[in-house]
Structure formats: C-alpha cells, structure tokens
C-alpha cells in the first residue's frame, strides 16, 4: 500500500516542527512538505497533490480557508484536516463549508495525530470533542432561557459571549461596546466563574445550552 502523503501548512515554527516530527516517524505516512504561509502551501499542494493536508487557519499571508477551498476544488484525492486555536463556530463552519473533513484544536496535542490522519483517510471525520459538541448543539433546537438561567449572567456578560460566539475578538468587542478591553475581560472572567468553565469555547457552549447565547 502506498504511504499516505501529507502536506503541513502551519506558520508557528514550534507546531510545524512537532507535526513534522510526528508524521516523519510514522512508517505508513510520508511528509511531502511543510510550509509556513499561504503561497508556499499552494505551491506544495500543486507540486505534490497529497492525500492529506494539515492546515492552520491563521496564516500570515492569508487564511487557511483558501487552501481548503483549493484542495476541495482541484484535488479530489486530498482530505483536509484543520489544526488550529480557533474553536469558535464561525471558523469551524467556514472550514467545513470550504471542504475540510477534520477539525482539531491545537490543545489536543500532537501525540495521536498519526491516528487522526489514518482515520481521516479511512473516511472518518476527526473532530475535537469541544467542536463536536458545538456542531451537535447547532443542530439541536435552541432552548428557551428560564428565569433562573437568565439571572445567571448579566446583560453585558451575555452580550460579550454572544459577540464572541460570532467570531469577534475581545479587542473588537471592546470597540463595539465602547468600553476598554479590561472591562470586556472582566465580563469574560465573571462568565467563566458563573458557568464554571475555563475557556471561551466552553463558556459559549454552556451559555448556548442554557439558551443565553443565540446565533
């Protein structure tokens, strides 16, 4: 059986080195190339036509979404897996709609990356559990907030989480609300404490589950 050829497009040198090492050590995988920006990534895809593209979304010269679309439109044999820090719904949905079939958060680590690549080539869709819960929640009917859940977060805290769920950064939210970034972060930290979570993705998930954040 031919080895699974892999192209990696990741601008962070540490992650790129870690992913490259994992792929290089697997006997059934072959690293076709690794790039740090969009133009180099496009060149590698055209030259090698790999079986798997591992791509970050935040690239210095453009979005990884462009690489996903290129692979989807021109390389039908290439399966695409996103590996990124972006766990918000807009990034997830944009990636899947562009043609990605796997979506992993970088905090998942690189240890089981080879198994995820094999699963991708076998027809699976490796997705981080937090992202999977988001997708399931998106498909479920939106719950109506109860009086108890509505009282859990202040209107400002709900507004910040709602804008964050739409993909806005904390700096952008601060400008939109006419407050400082410090004030926004205060709302965020209060939300985490009240929802008993430790990350933005978890906070959005819990708030949606309670009907406090809607699309």
- Regarding whether 52 and 11 lie in a shared domain, the answer is yes
| Cα-to-chain-centroid distance, residue 87 | 4
Q: Which residues, given as ranges, of the chain have pLDDT below 50?
A: none
- Regarding whether 151 and 133 lie in a shared domain, the answer is no
Global pTM reads: 0.64
H-type alpha helices, the chain:
13-25, 38-48, 64-74, 89-98, 113-121, 129-139, 147-150, 155-165, 170-177, 181-195, 200-209
Residue 80 belongs to a domain:
yes
Give the end of a domain, one of 137, 168, 201: 137
Give the end of a domain, one of 113, 137, 161: 137
Give the pLDDT of residue 206: 83
- Regarding whether 119 and 170 lie in a shared domain, the answer is no
State how beta strands 62-63 and 58-59 pair.
antiparallel
- Regarding whether 203 and 156 lie in a shared domain, the answer is yes
Give the end of a domain, one of 137, 160, 183: 137
Structural domain boundaries enclosing 76? 4-137
Give the pLDDT of residue 215: 57
């Amino acid at each position: 059986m031919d080895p699974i050829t892999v192209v990696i497009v990741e601008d962070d040198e540490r992650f790129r080195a870690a992913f490259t090492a994992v792929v290089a050590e697997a006997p059934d995988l072959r690293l076709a190339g690794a790039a740090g920006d969009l133009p180099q990534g496009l060149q590698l895809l055209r030259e090698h036509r790999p079986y798997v593209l591992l791509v970050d979304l935040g690239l210095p010269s453009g979005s990884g979404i462009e690489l996903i679309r290129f692979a989807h439109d021109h390389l039908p044999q290439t399966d695409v897996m996103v590996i990124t820090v972006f766990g918000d719904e807009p990034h997830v949905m944009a990636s899947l709609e562009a043609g990605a079939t796997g979506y992993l958060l970088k905090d998942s680590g690189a240890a089981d990356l080879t198994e995820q690549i094999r699963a991708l080539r076998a027809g699976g869709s490796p997705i981080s559990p937090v992202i999977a819960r988001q997708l399931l929640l998106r498909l479920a009917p939106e719950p109506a907030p109860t009086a108890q859940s509505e009282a859990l977060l202040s209107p400002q805290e709900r507004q910040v989480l709602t804008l964050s769920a739409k993909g806005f950064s904390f700096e952008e939210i601060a400008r939109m609300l006419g407050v400082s970034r410090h004030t926004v972060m205060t709302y965020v930290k209060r939300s985490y404490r009240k929802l008993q979570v430790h990350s933005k993705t978890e906070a959005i998930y819990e708030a949606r589950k309670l009907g406090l954040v809607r699309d």
